[in-house]
A and B are shown apart, each in its own frame.
Chain A
Amino acid sequence: MMGDKSNFGDVLVVGAGISGIQAALDLANSGYKVYLVEKSPTVGGHMAQLDKTFPTNDCSMCIESPKFIECDRHPNIEILTYTEVESVEGQKGDFEITLIKKPRYIKEELCTGCTTCTEYCPVQVPDPFNQKLSSNKAIHIYFSQAVPLVPYIDDNCLFIKDKKCSICASVCPNNAVDLNQKPEKVVIKVGAIVMSPGYGAFDPGPRGDYGYGAYENVVTSLDFERLLCSTGPHEGEILRPSDKRHPHKIAWIHCVGSRQVLAGGNNFCSAVCCSYIQKQVILAKDHDPDAEAFIFHNDIRSYGKDFERFYKRAADLPGVHFIRSYVSVGVEDPDTKNVTIRYATDNEGVKEEEFDLVVLGVGLAPPNKAGDLANRFGIELNAHGFCKTNPQNPMETTRPGIFVSGAFQGPMDIPESVVSASGTNAQIGALLKNRRGKLSKERIYPPERDASGEEAKVGVFVCHCGANIGRIVNVPSVVDYAKSLPNVVHAEEGLFICSTDAAQEIANTIRDKGLNRVVVAACTPRTHEPLFRDTLREGGINQYFYDMANIREHCSWVHSKQKEEATNKAKDLVRMSVARARLLEPLEEFDLTVNKKTLVIGGGIAGMVAALSLADQGYEVHLVEKNPELGGMARRIKTTLEGMDVQEYLDELIDKVYRHPLVQVSHGAIIRDATGFVGNFVTTVESEGRTKTIHHGAVIIATGAEEYKPVEYLYGQDSRVLTQLEVEERIEREDDELLGSRAVVMIQCVGSRQEDRNYCSRVCCSQAIKNALDLKKKRPEMDVYILFRDMRTYGFKEDYYRKASEQGVRFVRFEPSGKPEVEPAEDEEGKPVLRVTVPDPILGQRLALDADHVILSTGVVPTADTLKISRQFKLTLNPDGFFQEAHVKLRPVDFAAEGIFLCGTAHYPKHISEAISQAYGAAGRAVTLLSHDTVTATGAVCDVNEDACVSCGACISVCAYGAISFHETESGRKATVNSILCKGCGVCNSVCPTSAISLKHYTDEEIFAQIDAASEERGAHE
């Protein structure tokens, strides 16, 4: 956090959920000073409450919490939690914002997070983090990874209610409790604002949906997340509320509060529930393989990347039943508290079934008091109560200078929230171009002492962590023991070594005692190693001279009933760390210069938007397009479902690209060769007969996708069979033949959601609805049928699905096992028609429809050159042939290879607005690199001892980063490591027959020393 109290910054980010966190980090890493304001006591938002995330089932907290710490330690981010925005005055470039800091009754700067107060607090309150399914104390830290790691006091506190108790204040060892704190007004000035207030989960309470509130064993999906989670109310055991027993038969009900035109419900689709329910089913089955799961659903909307496989995975589990039916909840059994559900079946009529637990798939709603929020910020909301945005720029609100990211734009999942957050960085980068780097600062460290030749002088610091370690482990005896170890010249204990002043103390001790190795015995290096490495730099020695003995997570907390053994183990762990520390070598993190130019591959909408965004921020761009002209797939799209004129937009965009002095375009371009690495790529491009060598620092892959060319349903054989794109073109040119049709039949999922293309193409349902509405508009009397499997009009697109239904478009569902058949025939009048027959699952018979045209909703497939480009830039493809991002949730537009970014349909099929959003996202991510003159690479990389290398190539064969290659030396061919490409995993070490290749910081010697030390008897040095 920032030390100075100046109230002048660049950007205010409102809401510190995953979207706000990402926005803050990207902005701060791009040279802006950011205020990150959050109304709850900690950063984290809804994502922190989730157990896992679909479709990878990654642990939600584990992937999110490192970002908390990153924000906390960032010199350009000031976090203000428990704070709300009161008013926003001024205009873009010059806003004045009044914040109200609510009293948390803790002096944050004094609190060490020791939780002694919580221990002594006599008041139990329902724990909001655990959805009130368990209790906590009135004074408590919101959750254990909270940032700031400081408690707050709930309104149920006896002192706050009637000034009765103040135990917390008296037991606090640091006098950090201040029960007389009052709300505090803070005024700050910034140039731009990002709103990322997230969403409000639909509350089934007021209507009592499906017995919620009345029946104990009816819970919401968010409640269920907490039940699943190991930090939840029952430590990860799924126990139902009524009797804390394991439920064996669980029902999930879809669309609770979503897709409803009823009072109290939301008429849009919440976009995420289908997949999160599948996740919950998979996890529930993980917990209890014998559990029976019934999922009552409407359309299954698995429209995202890898969602279809995820759906299949859930559906194929034994004992899992996906049932397409509306349901009503009947009674609760007064004895067992089981809940009965009535539902309809295809062949058995209405059935009743009793469940141990019912989970309501609640939808996403606008954030709480969104109207009030909008008033305070002076922005408008859309008809659904979410933020009103510009379809050509989904991050723009109605007030210039205020941008929006995350679910306040509308229902969306985590990656989309992250993408839009990075996108706001790109927007603000253009708006505040001239302010970049003015307020931001780099940390300044004292010069580093060269200790490489010195004998090891180890300092050991053993932490009590309040009572967390000290109550179990005898810390003074560990300190004494440490002093007996070889090369240890100093050992001391501390109450909280991570507190700012204790860290400063270590830095002083390093200097005073001339330490050249430091071991901290405390908590986990995964959270605290960066802090202590920083401390070593403050102390003037190389940061790699540091090791950490984890005597909390791996000792006191897991052996809490065995004090003596835990103390002995702590000594062992310290001995192991010291043994390792003695051998540690100073490593150089090296700076690589960054070429500020970006190569954007692909001149469709995504590529052009990304290129323009970078250029608007002042960075040079080389845009290469394989076709003779710009525009890509969008050239064939006339309007979007929402009515945006795509051609007009495209013309303007192309015009801007050609006019922009910083954008250079190559047409008809073929990439011949690509080499280099982050900050320093060299790409050879052949374009219109000339070969150019482009030096650039970043790459944006926006190579797009293609329309699947169908082979089914007589396409190509009968001219009356068309694709949706062809229909769109014909509607545009008022083609009489098409518009004269008495009836048309559209068939969905052509080439999608099947064995060889096991994904949903995402856009075809909306495309069908769009064309159906257009046809109906032009010829209201035309019969339009849509044969579908699941209508996937997610989010606000649901409005148009409903509209189509209202306008008489007829929807007929089919199963993949009973696909429609198309054959030429004659109707009753003897006119030639195309006869479409399909088994109707509801009527149970074969339906025959006569049509003048059959329209195929064909899928989206990767472009032919995707594979070639993936090889040239060493990128990974997913099983469907689309580019694979670094992390599906939190690095959605990054590649694992640094300096390369991704956007548009090259990533996965998507709508134009989504591609635009992603393009800004990619540009925003690229700027976090381009805004720096240099990029730092870790020193813990591999190195080859050429004398020992036998040039067998084993290391080269296992390095997927391509970091190792052969080079010629005087003694023959030897392996050599490109330190910039090496990521430091060390797999090459374990396959090297002669141990010639060695991962610095994890060398064999260091590992052996640790293993040897582990086996030594304690007292060997005493």
Chain B
Amino acid sequence: MNKVIVDRNSNLDLSTLDSELSFEFGSGESFLYLHDLKSDNNLNFELFENSILYLSIFADNALENAKITANLGKNSKIVVYFADFSVEKNKLDATINLNDEGATCEWHLASLSSNKDNKDIVVNIYHNHPSTFGRIDNYGVCKDEGKLQFSGISYILKGCHQSKSHQNAKIVVFDNDCVAKAKPVLKIDENDIEASHAASVGKVSDEHIFYLTSRGLNLEEAKMLITLGYLKPILKGFNESIQGEIDALIERRLSNV
């Protein structure tokens, strides 16, 4: 297993490294950009006290059996931006362990499943300590014969009071042959907590289309704008040149909608 020392501001080419990687972060802010996540990647992140990690991942190849695990210490925070434009397959399993007071996870993912892509994205957050905070936002667009499944469990263990956990999973579906599922689950064994989950899977809302077309946009423009609204917010997690690259990819992949 490689151990990687990460500078404050790093871009890492994973193709040259072992599939099992471990990263450690000390106090202060770190930014890590990962491109070319590959199958069987097993990435492990250790966040020590008072560390903040902004982890931006852009996937545009096939992914099978990729794992992300993060262990968070006291008052540490991980903010994940995952732009999933992988093709064919994405079987991703992410587990975030909030192990000490003040540990916080913000997970943002945008995923496009088109052609015959088959994607199964699992994000679990374990609240292992009182006063820990988790938020999962998964947005997806499913078209052609694409399959897309978001699932995730937020576990709040007994005694982990004052914890907050929120999950949000939304998929917009374009074609009849799509298979899309959103399964946000909360497993809670404590009373004094705050938790919510929301899920929606469906075609672009008629009311949204009426609203946009009533301002002069034609049906295609309206649909495109609404669809981009599922994917584009992820761009804010990336620097400008990567934003341009992802933006162009989105436009290209959605051009035949």
Please indicate whether A and B come from the same complex rather than being unrelated chains: no
